[in-house]
Structure formats: structure tokens, C-alpha cells
């Protein structure tokens, strides 16, 4: 009888404690309310400090006149994933700055409500991969900074929906290879920073759809192969291409055939190039510190080459 009683009591207590956990204010133990540190109606920036969010936290962000805020910035924070809640509160946000915030993941729905966002700074975080559609929702994005993360793989649908993106920074990651369709949705892209990664091969077609591309920066990788059609843009006469700078300095190239590519300035310093084949539309070539013994041009009658630097070959 005594034992039965104890069991009843325990049961009763448990019923009580579970109800309590879901209905009383203590249930919001993992709901954390963050107020911005920049107070006042007239500040267009909302700054949040010491924000700590893991998977068990539901954050709530507030500030005076949230709809007036154009920039949100985090400081001294540790946030596991891009917080969807932020864009529920700040619906007119133009700039979101998460630099150095310990971010590991970008969830497919994180940016669903970030429809006005123009600049997203995710530099110096701990992101390892970019999954399909991870930026979906952020269709107005113009500048995306993913430099100095730990990114080693990018799904070929990761940048889907970023039709207006002009600038993409991926400097200082762990990329060894890229799907040659990965930049395809980026129809407005003018600049790609891919320097200081571990890329080995630049495949044909990698910028085939990026008709607006001007700056393609690939220095400080392990590139030993640039396929012949790698810098070719589809449906565009080579001579009307807008490529202004292609940098391949500090790589492991032994040969390079650009007989059909137009680019104003080509940076090839610090490779082990033995031969170089250029199109007539290349204006400037910096090729110091190689072992080049032979430079050929595919059509010398129309040659536009003005500067060719070959010191230390
Ligand atoms: C984000 O903040 C950092 C640190 O203050 C700053 O250097 C960077 O320019 C900011 N990013 C943007 C997009 O404004
Ligand atoms: C990056 O990944 C390596 C392992 O691949 C890990 O040791 C390192 O801590 C990671 N860096 C960051 C900033 O997460
Ligand atoms: C990230 O890139 C954006 C766009 O170029 C730039 O404004 C910002 O300053 C960069 N962030 C840092 C921390 O340098
Ligand atoms: C190349 O750039 C010029 C000047 O910025 C622009 O007018 C032209 O439309 C661009 N070409 C393409 C194919 O985007
Ligand atoms: C080429 O390598 C030298 C020696 O390592 C370095 O000082 C120089 O900055 C490099 N040049 C370029 C353009 O990266
Ligand atoms: C340079 O390359 C051209 C074309 O491949 C070849 O005909 C020529 O013999 C080469 N010259 C030397 C000195 O290797």
C-alpha cells in the first residue's frame, strides 16, 4: 500500500511538472529576448552584442522602430545558424552583418523573409558547406561575403534565386573543386573572388552563363589545369566579352591555352608555365616568375597586346 502510494505521488508530480513545463512562463527558458544596443528612433543601424544562440534557443530580437532599421550587425556573438527570426522582425533590412559570429549553417528557410536584403556579410564564420537553395528568399541580394569560412562544398543549386547578385566573395575557404554549373543562376554577377582556396582544375563552362562577369580572381590556389573553354561565355562573341581581369597568379600551371578568350588583363605571375598561347584580344599579361620559353598568339594580324611582362623566365 505504501509503495503504491509513492508511485501515485510520483505520477501526480510528473503530470504536474510536465504541464508546468509547457504552460507556465518558465517554459520560455529557451526563448531569449535580445534588445539592440543602439537605441533611438533615428538610428538606421540595429546592433546586437553577446548574442548566444544554439539549436535549443528561440531568439526574439527587438529594437525601437524595427521597420526603420536598414542594417543589423552582431558583435561578440555566437550564433549556430543564420537566425530566421531576425528577418521576421526586421522586415525592411538592407544589410545583415554576421561577420565573426560562429555561424555553422545556413538553413534553406533562413532567408525566406529577407526579401529586401542587399548585402549579406557572413565572412569569418565556420560554414562548411552551402546546400541547395540555401539563399532562397533573398532575391534582392547584391553582395554576398562568404570569405574566410571553412567551405569545402557548394551544391550546384546553392546560388539559385540570386539573380541580382553583383559581387560574390569566397576568398580563404577550402574549395578543391567546383561544379561547372554552380555560378549559372548568377546572371548579374560582375565579380567573383575565389582566391586562397585549394582549387586544382578550372573546368570548361564555369562562367558560361555569366555574361556580365568582369573580374574573376583565382590567385593563390593549386590550379594545374585550366580547360580550354573555361573562360568562354556562351552566346557572346569572344571579342565582345567583358572580362577585364583574370588572375591566376600563385598557382601550379605548366601550360595555358587562351587562344579564343578575350580578357583585358591577365595575371600569371608565380606559376611554372612553360608555354603560353594567347588570343589577339588580350591586352596585358603579367607572367613574371615562370619558365616560359614560347609565347604564341592565335591571330597576330589583329593583335592587341600592349604589355607582356616576362621577368624571371
Ligand atoms: C561588417 O562589419 C565588419 C566589422 O565592423 C566590417 O568590416 C564590414 O565592412 C561590415 N560588412 C558590411 C557588408 O558592411
Ligand atoms: C575548419 O575545419 C577544420 C577541419 O576540416 C577544423 O579543424 C577547424 O576547426 C575548422 N575551422 C573553423 C573556424 O571552424
Ligand atoms: C564582405 O564583403 C562586402 C562586400 O564587398 C564588404 O562590404 C565587407 O566589408 C566585407 N566584410 C569584411 C569583414 O571585410
Ligand atoms: C559589357 O559592359 C558594358 C559596359 O559596362 C555593357 O554596356 C554591356 O552590356 C556589357 N555586356 C554584356 C554582355 O553584359
Ligand atoms: C610571387 O612570389 C613571390 C615570392 O614568393 C612573392 O613575394 C610575390 O608577392 C608573388 N607575386 C604575386 C603577384 O603574388
Ligand atoms: C613555339 O610554339 C609553336 C607552336 O606550338 C611551335 O611551332 C614552335 O616550334 C615553338 N617554338 C619553340 C622555340 O619551342
Burial-class residue 27 by CB neighbours within 10 Å (0-12, 13-18, 19+): exposed
Return the ∠ at Cα 67 (arms to 66 and 69), rounded to 5°: 70
Residue with cell 564555369: 206
Who's near 23: CB < 8 A, 6+ residues apart? none
Confidence at residue 281, expressed as pLDDT on a 0 to 100 scale: 94
Confidence at residue 237, expressed as pLDDT on a 0 to 100 scale: 79
Residue with cell 526603420: 68
Task: With H, G, I as helix, E, B as strand and everything else as coil, classify residue 89.
Answer: helix
Residue with cell 548585402: 119
**Per-residue confidence of the chain (313 residues) as pLDDT tens digits?**
444 444 443 433 333 333 333 223 334 558 899 999 876 667 788 999 999 998 888 899 988 888 788 999 999 999 999 999 999 889 899 999 999 999 999 998 999 999 999 999 999 999 999 999 999 999 999 999 999 999 999 999 999 999 999 999 999 999 999 999 999 999 999 999 999 999 999 999 999 999 999 999 999 999 999 998 999 998 777 778 889 999 999 999 999 999 988 999 999 999 999 999 999 999 999 999 999 999 999 998 989 999 999 999 9
Nearest-CA residue for ligand 4 atom 2 is 242
Confidence at residue 38, expressed as pLDDT on a 0 to 100 scale: 76
Beta bridge partners of 33: 60
pLDDT 10s digits, 247-294: 999 999 999 999 988 999 999 999 999 999 999 999 999 999 999 999
Query: What whole-number distance in Å separates Cα of residue 82 and Cα of residue 53?
Result: 10
Q: All 3 cell numbers of residue 119? A: 548585402
Give the mutation target among 212, 245, 262 for probing the ligand 4 site: most ligand atoms within 8 A of CB.
212
Cα 55 to ligand 1 centre (Å): 26
Confidence at residue 25, expressed as pLDDT on a 0 to 100 scale: 32
Nearest-CA residue for ligand 5 atom 1 is 270
From the CA of 95, give the closest atom in ligand 1. Answer: 13
- CA neighbor of 288 nearest in space, from 306, 303, 308, 304: 308
The two counts, helices (H) then strands (E), for the chain are 2, 23
Ligand 1 site residues, Cβ closer than 6 angstroms: 95, 97, 99, 119, 121
Answer whether 294 contacts ligand 6 (Cβ < 6 A): yes
Nearest-CA residue for ligand 6 atom 13 is 294
Confidence at residue 70, expressed as pLDDT on a 0 to 100 scale: 92
Nearest-CA residue for ligand 2 atom 13 is 126
Amino acid at each position: 500500500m505504501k509503495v503504491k502510494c509513492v508511485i501515485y505521488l510520483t505520477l501526480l508530480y510528473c503530470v504536474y511538472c510536465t504541464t508546468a513545463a509547457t504552460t507556465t512562463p518558465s517554459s520560455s527558458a529557451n526563448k531569449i529576448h535580445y534588445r539592440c544596443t543602439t537605441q533611438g528612433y533615428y538610428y538606421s543601424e540595429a546592433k546586437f552584442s553577446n548574442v548566444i544562440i544554439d539549436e535549443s534557443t528561440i531568439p526574439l530580437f527587438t529594437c525601437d522602430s524595427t521597420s526603420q532599421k536598414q542594417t543589423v550587425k552582431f558583435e561578440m556573438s555566437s550564433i549556430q545558424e543564420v537566425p530566421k527570426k531576425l528577418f521576421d522582425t526586421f522586415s525592411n533590412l538592407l544589410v545583415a552583418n554576421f561577420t565573426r559570429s560562429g555561424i555553422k549553417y545556413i538553413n534553406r528557410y533562413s532567408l525566406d523573409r529577407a526579401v529586401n536584403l542587399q548585402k549579406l556579410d557572413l565572412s569569418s564564420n565556420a560554414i562548411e558547406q552551402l546546400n541547395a537553395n540555401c539563399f532562397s528568399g533573398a532575391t534582392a541580394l547584391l553582395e554576398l561575403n562568404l570569405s574566410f569560412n571553412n567551405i569545402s562544398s557548394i551544391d550546384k543549386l546553392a546560388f539559385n534565386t540570386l539573380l541580382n547578385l553583383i559581387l560574390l566573395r569566397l576568398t580563404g575557404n577550402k574549395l578543391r573543386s567546383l561544379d561547372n554549373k554552380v555560378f549559372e543562376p548568377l546572371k548579374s554577377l560582375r565579380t567573383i573572388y575565389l582566391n586562397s582556396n585549394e582549387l586544382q582544375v578550372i573546368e570548361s563552362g564555369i562562367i558560361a552563363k555569366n555574361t556580365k562577369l568582369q573580374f574573376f580572381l583565382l590567385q593563390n590556389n593549386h590550379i594545374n589545369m585550366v580547360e580550354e573553354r573555361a573562360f568562354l561565355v556562351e552566346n557572346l562573341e569572344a571579342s565582345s566579352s567583358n572580362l577585364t581581369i583574370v588572375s591566376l597568379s600563385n598557382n601550379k600551371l605548366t601550360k595555358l591555352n587562351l587562344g579564343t578568350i578575350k580578357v583585358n588583363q591577365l595575371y600569371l605571375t608565380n606559376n611554372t608555365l612553360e608555354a603560353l598561347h594567347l588570343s589577339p584580344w588580350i591586352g596585358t599579361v603579367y607572367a613574371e616568375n615562370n619558365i616560359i620559353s614560347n609565347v604564341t598568339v592565335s591571330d597576330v594580324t589583329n593583335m592587341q597586346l600592349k604589355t607582356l611582362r616576362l621577368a624571371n623566365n
